[in-house]
Amino acid sequence: MLKGKVAIVTGGTRGIGLEIVRTFKENNAEVILFGSKKESVEKAINMLKEEGHIVKGYYPNLSNYEEIEKIIKEINNIYGHIDILVNNAGISANKKIEETSSQEFESIMNLNVNAIFNMTKAVVPYMKKQKDGVILNTSSMVSIYGQPSGVGYPASKFAVNGLTKSLARELAPNNIRVNAVAPGITNTDMVASLPKEMIEPLIKTIPLGRIGEPKDIANAFLFLASNMASYITGVVLSVDGAARS
């Protein structure tokens, strides 16, 4: 489904991001994964290599636009085009507001929102030049109805939805589609780190009776990245087993 496409996936070393990388490779894309540390990037690359998938990796500071701009230029020079950007890097939060420092809130917004701005700003000139491109953002089920604690996370994901819908309208004349996927509770290490008293009541509200698997989410990204979704833009696609309030 992605033969001949070049895709960049941030937060691509574990969980949903790693599964997106794997799924894109299974569909014949060239994939460049971004991670937060050299060690995690190398570990992911080696794991994928053992599975028969060859990918390239970087570990930039996503809050540093100049650093991002330089790497994006390098990638374009290597491959000649950049077709798909998946903004997946992010961190969650579960503290009550009175226990959350302003620095913690700022760090969440930096990675979950500012990094998307930086990555998108860096790739758009290349996509505009080729008059084609797909930008996909990872949102969340909590972007629709919030969560009982950890206000920074849903706040950041509401912002992701705003970026997605606004950029879809701005970039549509250049044939650049912008969509988001809003996963429900998914079987990743991020969810595993959350307290059981937060997760278990939510699972009981899922009509399909289970939490999602990374592959469930990756398949949604695959569809939106492919030409099968050529007339879809500005959409926040819920992939949550109908777990809506």
Other beta carbons less than 10 A from residue 193's beta carbon = 9
Separation CA 224–CA 218 (nearest Å): 10
Strand order in the sheet with 6-10: 56-58, 30-34, 6-10, 84-87, 133-138, 176-183, 236-239
Mapped onto helix, strand or coil, the DSSP state of residue 148 is: coil
Name the active-site residue from 65, 145, 153, 231. 153
Separation CA 209–CA 222 (nearest Å): 24
User: Which secondary structure element, helix H or strand E, spans residue 160, and what is its range?
Assistant: helix 152-171
β-sheet bridge partners, residue 236: 180
DSSP secondary structure of 67-126: HHHHHHHHHHHHHS---EEEE---------GGG--HHHHHHHHIIIIIHHHHHHHHHHHH
Token duo for residue 17:
């991001």
Separation CA 104–CA 170 (nearest Å): 31
CA 241 vs. chain centroid, Å, equals 19
153 is catalytic: yes
Smallest CA-to-CA distance from 160 within 87, 58, 216 is with: 87
Active site residues: 153
